[in-house]
Amino acid sequence: MRRMTYLLKCYSLRQLDVHGTSIMWPLVWMSMRTYAPYVTFPVALVVGAVGYQLEWFIRGTPKPREQKSILEQREERKLEEQEGTDGTQVLSLKDKLEFAPRAALNRNRPQES
């Protein structure tokens, strides 16, 4: 308030034009600079709320759908993969070992005679 009265005292009546706008703009800019934090938050709050409501209006209400967990989806996919195969026909352990990479310097395998 002191700043406004000081600014009003600095301008004499001779500097005022017909509508008094030459003194009004500095007052407006000074008050906007001074009270910006108090004005900005409510304005941003209103703009955000309107934008949020407008977005929901454009999108519409979401339709409820069942979402399965990742574990359930994986189990279903594995079951679908195994559906067409015979579960009793598996490779023996000896067949699996043939395709395993050989250990470095053959230290971990017994010698074949």
User: The pTM is what?
Assistant: 0.36
| Better pLDDT: 55 or 32 | 55
What pLDDT score was predicted for residue 46?
96
Q: pLDDT tens digits, residue range 3-15?
A: 656 655 555 444 5
Helices 21-34 and 2-10: angle between axes, nearest 10 degrees: 160
Q: pLDDT tens digits, residue range 59-110?
A: 887 777 778 889 999 999 999 988 878 878 877 776 666 555 556 666 666 6
